[in-house]
Amino acid sequence: MNFLITLIPVSPLLGFLIIALNYKKMIHGVASFIACGMVFISFILAVVVFLQLLFLPEDQRAFSVTVFDWIHTAGFSADISFLVDPLSSLFLLIITGVGFLIHLYSIGYMHDDAGYNKFFSYLNLFVFFMLLLVMGSNYLLMFVGWEGVGLCSYLLIGFWFKNTDYNKAANKAFIMNRIGDLGLLIGIILIFVNFGSINYHEVLAKAADVDPSTISLITILLFIGAMGKSAQIPLYTWLPDAMAGPTPVSALIHAATMVTAGIYMVARNNVLYSMSPAALQLVLIVGLATALFAATIAVAQNDIKKVLAYSTVSQLGLIFVALGVGAYSSGIFHMATHAFFKALLFLGAGSVIHALSGEQDIRRMGGLKKHLPITYLTFLVGVLAISGIPPFAGFFSKDEILANAFAQSPVAYGVALLASLLTSFYMFRLFFLTFLGTPRASHEVMHHIHESPKSITVPLIVLAGLSLVGGFMNVPEVLGGSAWLNEFLSPVFAPSHGILELHHLEHSTELVLMGVVVTLTVVLIGIAYSTYVKKSDVPAAEGTLSGVHNVVYHKYYIDELYDAIVVKPLFWLSKQFDGVVERLGIDGIVNALGGVVVKGSQVFRLLQNGSIGFYIFAMAISIILMLTFFVIW
């Protein structure tokens, strides 16, 4: 078993090395076969490990594997070691399973790209670092994976690096994540200082012995890291821009890797967060604010990928709402279903963009239903799932979050409900404008339009199936289920249940809440249908917007605000340092020293004039001066 667990992250790493070292001479088919095959091997191994865990007694559901000693020095030690328990095994299935489908999809989507082999090597490296992040048994190994996925996102967002805007998006993602990473790094250092270890088991076992205020400080610092990686206010603006990369990259970042890192980290440290009401309150407030704020922005966007990007930010906010009220397994449940339908939606958007020769504006789409039947049907499944329509996956997971929020606070429930309802509206707005109504693309585009190849449609069909049935893994008791996922994850979250005082709703209350949500969702879908199909309204052109609509369309001018209060002052400050400290200070000193050496050498070279008489005279003077020196001193 130890060998199989070790092979899970090693397999995509081998794929990266093989392709990267031979990418110039390797034919495309071999590169994609190796990349897809290595991730598929990891998926099969993850399934085997998951089944092993499933049939173990609840208190034995964990495998710990030490590969080798990494760092051992005075008072500090860290191993390359893996921890596979119910939490990490669920992440392994999502990363490798959804990741494999995205690899498969990329074969068709990137088949004409000049950087085909390089792209697949980056995908393998991305999967490797994400696996390392969730499998590491200590904070340092998690941090290595954390930084690795940051590096890979930078490489893949800026994959088409000849486009300046794409380079700026990659830089933005890299720099904003470094802000959050600083908080995470300080938090890890404080953990070592106060706990004397960075191993998960040892830290969580000593948690009761550490001052509560210190635990609050540590958990808040760790959460700053999660705010960066999982795109929460105020560090969320990089994620919508990250769609600049190829569409498979967007799906990988938004569904299976990057943004789930912060969720995993908070869930892994659930004991520490449960001991800090202040930290949990912060997680709840940031989650609520992000969920609602991003949902309002998504309502006014017209770029198909930008709508999905803000949808991701909003859904991540809802997951943090679950974590903030202590419903950790509900948050992980929605993370899993979100991975299915968000990967499906992004890959479906890619199929639309592929068919329309790069067009991404939904105002220039419409009527694609009969031309792209598979994409249309699978995209509809994704929209129904994210909108929370029963029995699609999002219904079960989102309902759990809303119910837990209601049990914690009616205000939290109200905000989360509003964000959820907005989601159903803007997603069906996107769907109706893209697939129904009158075609608005040019005649030439519509003449050549056709369904995507099987390498693209097969992953869509598989993800649509998962988006349809994925919610049944955790059907609540009120609907006759056994909440299987909650039971499977209980060994990880049980210690927190002894710390937190969770409120439970009556079944009748839960049923009323479900009825309210579904009814309001259907009403909003009807409004969207009436507006964009029956009345055939098309969003106005950018220059004609006014008032609140214009402000929301421009994303509340947050990017412009950051540019004014952070970017421009830093540029001004760097120019001052460049002009005063660099050019007048450091350059001045270095240039002056160089000038002295040059002038001195010009003088001293006159001493070598080739005249023997002068050399004898100089030697005599030198002897006289030396004798005089020794006599005097």
Mean pLDDT of 225-229: 94
pLDDT at position 11 is: 96
3-class DSSP assignment, residue 26: coil
Please state which of the ranges 368-372, 442-446, 618-622 shows the lowest mean pLDDT: 442-446
Q: Is 544 a domain residue?
A: no
Residues near 354 by Cβ (< 8 Å), separated by ≥ 6? Answer: 109, 452, 456
Question: What's the pLDDT tens digit per position in 98-123?
Answer: 999 999 999 989 988 889 999 999 99
Residue 482 sits in the same domain as residue 597: no
DSSP-assigned letters across all residues of 587-628: HHHHHHHHHHHHHHHHHHGGG--S-HHHHHHHHHHHHHHHHH
Residue 420 sits in the same domain as residue 517: yes
Residue 496 sits in the same domain as residue 608: no
- Is pLDDT above 80 for 1? no
Question: What's the pLDDT tens digit per position in 529-548?
Answer: 999 999 988 888 877 777 88
Dihedral sign of CA atoms 616, 621, 624, 629 in order? negative
The pair of three-digit structure tokens given for residue 342, joined into one six-digit string: 């968000």
Residue 420 sits in the same domain as residue 513: yes
pLDDT band at 482 (very low <50, low <70, confident <90, very high): confident
pLDDT at position 298 is: 95
Q: Is 427 a domain residue?
A: yes
Integer angstrom CA distances of residue 74 from 67, 107, 188, 191, 208 = 21, 49, 18, 17, 26
Tally of domains in the chain: 2
Q: Is 142 a domain residue?
A: no
Q: Is 299 a domain residue?
A: yes
Distance separating alpha carbons of residues 383 and 364, to the nearest angstrom: 20
Residue 457 sits in the same domain as residue 598: no
Mean pLDDT of 396-401: 94
User: Higher pLDDT residue, 542 or 301?
Assistant: 301
Q: What is the mean pLDDT of the chain?
A: 92
Residue 597 sits in the same domain as residue 451: no
pLDDT at position 616 is: 87
Amino acid identity at 423: T
pLDDT at position 429 is: 96
Of the residues 470, 505, 539, the one at which a domain ends = 539
Amino acid identity at 539: P
Mean pLDDT of 296-324: 95
pLDDT band at 447 (very low <50, low <70, confident <90, very high): confident
Q: Is 146 a domain residue?
A: no
Q: Is 269 a domain residue?
A: no
Q: Is 500 a domain residue?
A: yes
pLDDT at position 335 is: 95
Mean pLDDT of 407-424: 94
Residue 512 sits in the same domain as residue 591: no
> Nearest CA to 173 among 260, 252, 236, 129?
236
Q: Is 347 a domain residue?
A: yes
Beta bridge partners of 68: 80
Q: How many CB atoms lie within 10 A of CB 213?
A: 10
Question: What's the pLDDT tens digit per position in 169-191?
Answer: 999 999 999 999 999 999 999 99
User: Higher pLDDT residue, 272 or 606?
Assistant: 272
Residue 420 sits in the same domain as residue 324: yes
Q: What number of residues does the chain have?
A: 633
pLDDT at position 51 is: 94
Mean pLDDT of 270-275: 94
Mean pLDDT of 18-23: 92
Percent of the chain with pLDDT over 90: 70
Domain span including residue 489: 280-539
Residue 329 sits in the same domain as residue 429: yes
Residue 241 contacts residue 173 (beta carbons within 8 Å): yes
Of the residues 539, 562, 593, the one at which a domain ends = 539
Residue 398 sits in the same domain as residue 525: yes
Residue 484 sits in the same domain as residue 408: yes
Of the residues 539, 569, 590, the one at which a domain ends = 539
Distance separating alpha carbons of residues 600 and 592, to the nearest angstrom: 12
pLDDT band at 358 (very low <50, low <70, confident <90, very high): confident
Distance separating alpha carbons of residues 602 and 596, to the nearest angstrom: 10
pLDDT band at 497 (very low <50, low <70, confident <90, very high): confident
Residue 625 sits in the same domain as residue 535: no
547 CB-contact burial (10 Å; exposed 0-12 / middle 13-18 / buried 19+): exposed
The pair of three-digit structure tokens given for residue 603, joined into one six-digit string: 């003088």
